[in-house]
Amino acid sequence: MAENQNILELNSAMMRNTYKIEGDGSIGSCFLIGKPFKKDPTRAYLVLVTAAHVLEDMKGEEATIYLRKKQNDNSFVKISWKIKIRQGSNALWVKNKSGIDVAVMYTRLPEDIDHQLLPTTMFADDKVLTGFEIHPGDEMFCLGFPFGVEANEAGFPILRSGKVASFPLVPTQKNESFLLDFEVFKGNSGGPVYFVESNRNYAGGTHIGKIQFIAGLVSKEFSVTETIKSLYETKQQVHPLSLAVIIHASHILETINQLPEQE
């Protein structure tokens, strides 16, 4: 489970672990997580996480992920890196077994890229959400690339935030997603949503220290479809509500656990 981790600065770590991914027909956001070896938990496989529809909408066998290298003067340089997402018509990623909008895949990246790999223990489960009394009105942060836009030439994501806008959050097996009050654009899908707060009040008192965890990923925009009927035609009009649908982190971990063990 996610824990108080006063040493880790999650905002910067997530910035370094979030990347733009694009291919023919699709663009989105993705992030990296370390899946520990069963035989040696001190080592981890590199796992790419995104929304399933980001990869499903891409045509062909390859996608491009935009990585970053840190220079001696502490600046960063963006580099493009091809990753294989299909072998012919066979997907190389794993989609959540219940059809939830999460996809994960093992990946290999250059050793000299900048990142701060986080463990799967950073994912919030029901115990974390209930124990820290996460509730509507709590603020969460999101990283992504709206319309493919980057924060700077180095290719870092754009940080945004919003308040939890739905209830209840748990149990996450029945409530596979929740709403966050921020406007979603094409390119945000797959971006991580996370929580950071110091000296939080829960369990009847204020607890000194920092609480931080990954809460989920952006799936899609929440909208209402209106059906308009006239004498000559029936048409539908979609009204965006400036809300994001966030897939719970427990389903991301569930999907990662579906990956076959590697040698």
The average confidence (pLDDT) of the chain is 94
Contact 139, 162 (CB under 8 A): yes
State the average pLDDT over residues 189-210.
96
State the average pLDDT over residues 62-74.
96
pLDDT at 4 over 60: no
pTM of the model: 0.92
Task: Report residue 6's pLDDT band, with 50, 70 and 90 as the boundaries.
Answer: low
Task: Report residue 262's pLDDT band, with 50, 70 and 90 as the boundaries.
Answer: confident
pLDDT at 59: 96
User: Per residue in 144-199, pLDDT tens?
Assistant: 999 999 999 999 999 999 999 999 999 999 999 999 999 999 999 999 999 999 99
State the average pLDDT over residues 67-83.
96
Percent of the chain with pLDDT over 70: 97
pLDDT at 5: 52
> Could you tell me the domains of the chain?
10-256 (2.40.10.120)
User: Per residue in 77-109, pLDDT tens?
Assistant: 999 999 999 999 999 999 999 999 999 999 999
User: Per residue in 14-39, pLDDT tens?
Assistant: 999 999 999 999 999 999 999 988 88
pLDDT at 223 over 90: no
pLDDT at 3: 47
User: Per residue in 118-138, pLDDT tens?
Assistant: 999 999 999 999 999 999 999
pLDDT at 225 over 90: no
pLDDT at 228: 86
